[in-house]
Every structure is written in C-alpha cells, then in structure tokens.
C-alpha cells in the first residue's frame, strides 16, 4: 500500500517542472528551516525531555492496551 502511494507521488513529482516542484515543496521547506532554527537556539533540558518521552510512551501503551482489551475478550495486564 505504501509502495503504491509513493509510486504515485513519484510519478506526479516527475511530471512537474522544476518551478512547480519548488512551489510545491516551499511550505514544507519553510517549516523544516523554522524547526531547525528553533532546535538550534533552544536550550535542551534532557531530564525534562526524557520525562515527556516516557509520558508519551506510557500514554501510547495505555491506548494500545485499551484497544486490545476492547478487541479481545480477556486481557490481564498489571503494571508495577
């Protein structure tokens, strides 16, 4: 499925002129440049980032457990 999508996107991209490609990519390039600038200038608080990464991962795991619980008749899951 992903291969089909990328193949279609590639074909469309190759049919475009250089100016059309630049115009289509401009918003994404602008966003990437802004994100790079923010990352370059921002102070990084590693413990805080680790906390947020862990929090997001646990939220994701919780969502997956709820999903599986609703789709499987019985799941026993204990977190210590």
Domain boundaries, the chain: 1-42, 45-80
Would the pLDDT of 23 be above 50? Answer: yes
Measured between its terminal Cα atoms, the distance across the chain in Å is 39
% of the chain surpassing 70 pLDDT: 82
Confidence band for 38, pLDDT divided at 50, 70 and 90: confident
In what helix (H) or strand (E) does residue 11 lie, and over which residues does it extend?
A: helix 2-15
Would the pLDDT of 24 be above 90? Answer: no
| Whether the Cβ atoms of residue 24 and residue 16 lie closer than 8 Å to each other | yes
pLDDT score of 80: 47
Q: Which two tokens stand for residue 66?
A: 């709820």
41-70 per-position pLDDT tens digit? 777 667 777 888 899 999 999 888 888 777
Would the pLDDT of 17 be above 80? Answer: yes
């Amino acid at each position: 499925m992903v291969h089909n999508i990328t193949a279609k996107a590639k074909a469309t991209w190759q049919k475009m002129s250089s100016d059309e490609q630049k115009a289509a990519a401009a918003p994404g390039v602008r966003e990437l440049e802004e994100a790079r600038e923010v990352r370059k200038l921002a102070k990084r608080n590693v413990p805080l980032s680790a906390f947020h990464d862990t929090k997001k991962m646990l939220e994701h795991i919780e969502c997956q457990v709820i999903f599986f619980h609703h789709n499987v008749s019985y799941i026993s899951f204990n977190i210590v």
